[in-house]
Amino acid sequence: MKRILLVEDSTLFGSSVKEKIESKFECAVHWTKSLKDTEALFAEQEEDFAIGILDFVLPDAQNGDIIDMAIIGISSDEDGVVSAQFIKSGASDFLNKPFLAEEFYCRVTQNLDLLDYIQEVKDLSSKDFLTGLYNRRYFFDLGKKIHASALREKTKIAVATVDIDYFKRVNDTHGHDVGDLVIQSVSNILVNACRETDIVSRFGGEEFCILTPNITPADSLKLFERVRQTIQDSVIQVQGADIRVTASIGVCSTLLKTLDEMIVRSDQMLYRAKNQGRNKVQIT
């Protein structure tokens, strides 16, 4: 459910706007009456707001909390000065008081649709089309920042390379469509087994790469042994067939100078797991 911030000092008008939103949209409205209350709300809320409906220009409208949402300004602006201030401060839309309910609904709908479109574009650029996992590009973009932070703060991270064993046999026996479903099933296992803070990505084909921040080597081994075991125990039912696969996993739990070096080391551990019979975790 999307969250909408309403900043309006008039109790009567604020109640009316809040009621209009909640009666028409599946959104949670958070209503504040002053800048001080708004700043306090930002401090205590972890989730982002989709839209901010504001009846005055916030002095700090360039901060991150404001920039990340679509802003609809509302005011009794007869000479156009206030509307210009809103737009200059980064607002995406403006309504003069009083306004018709249908006009208000139209503006909110347009902004919600725009946010959905922007998110879709972001997903296309950062996520793998088949699995919905992060793609290789996003993994490197975010992973390098996490790695740099680990070097700076002297914290532990791990990088794991996961490869489905004998995947060519699945494609040759059942076809590529079934192979895609197997990849999707393994992807779901990886996401469910890992923590929310872990970066799970598909590197291509049947290979995945995972970055786990703030984790010790011992916990890394436990995590990826659990992943390996879950994949081995899972039965993937596709087109009336029960398909079982296993995966080999290489892990680099040593913080090296670059993320690239850690990926190369995890690849080396992966090849060692393959050479030792597959369906194994090798860690360094």
Q: What is the CB neighbour count within 10 angstroms for residue 26?
A: 8
Query: Residue 107 class from Cβ within 10 Å (0-12 exposed, 13-18 middle, 19+ buried)?
Result: buried
Phi then psi for residue 7, to 5 deg, are -115, 105
Tell me the two tokens of residue 239. 């087109």
Query: Measuring CA to CA, how many Å separate 134 from each of 7, 48, 125, 142?
Result: 35, 21, 9, 10
Beta carbons of 34 and 55 less than 8 angstroms apart? no
CB < 8 Å & 24+ apart, contacts of 84-91: 85/57, 86/54, 86/57, 89/57, 89/58, 89/61, 89/62, 90/61, 90/62, 90/66, 91/54, 91/61
Which positions ≥6 away from 36 have C-beta within 8 Å? none
Q: Give me the residues paired with residue 212 across strands.
A: 158
Report the helix count and the strand count for the chain, using DSSP H and E. Answer: 10, 12
Q: What is the CB neighbour count within 10 angstroms for residue 115?
A: 16
The H-or-E segment that residue 233 falls in is helix 217-233
Catalytic positions are: 206
What is the Cα–Cα distance from 272 to 268, expressed in whole angstroms? 6
Identity at 268, one-letter amino acid code: Q
